[in-house]
Amino acid sequence: MPAAPEPPFPLTEPTLYILLSLAPGQKHGYAILKDVAELSEGRVQLSTGTLYGALKRLLEQGWIERVDDDRDPAPADPGRPRKAYRLAAAGRHSLDAELTRLERLLDAARARRVARRA
């Protein structure tokens, strides 16, 4: 089985937060919007247009999947369940690769800061 292609680095901050938001499980758009704001401690405030543009791009890349949100107690149209999104395997791989990259970057920065103090 061929290795999954590496994601383009670095991921944008909104993309990283969207993937982090979906890491625990599926969410609908509004929940992602709120979770991104909470995860970023208010630094990243996505507009609905920006969020859905990013979700469209992530769907096209195969990093996320659209699923029916059967947990929604009151969908806008009772005949059609609200759509939710979840990480696809490629999205989880990209998130893991980016987190590894960031950890290495932080390790190097910490080592350099310690070396400068000595």
Q: What is the pLDDT along the chain (118 residues), one digit of tens a residue?
A: 555 556 677 999 999 999 999 999 999 999 999 999 999 999 999 999 999 999 999 999 999 999 987 665 555 566 666 789 999 999 999 999 999 999 999 999 999 887 677 6
Task: Tell me the residue length of the chain.
Answer: 118
Residues 6+ away with beta carbon under 8 Å from 36 = 14, 17, 18, 21, 44, 46, 51
- 35 and 22 Cβ atoms separated by less than 8 Å: no
- 82 and 72 Cβ atoms separated by less than 8 Å: yes
The whole model's pTM is what? 0.82
Four-way CATH pick for 13-117: 3.90.850.10, 1.10.10.10, 3.40.50.620, 3.30.70.600: 1.10.10.10
What pLDDT sits at residue 72?
Answer: 56
What pLDDT sits at residue 49?
Answer: 95
What pLDDT sits at residue 8?
Answer: 72
What pLDDT sits at residue 70?
Answer: 66
What pLDDT sits at residue 34?
Answer: 97
Distance CA(109)–CA(75), nearest Å, equals: 47
Reference 87, options 98, 76, 73, 72; nearest CA is 98
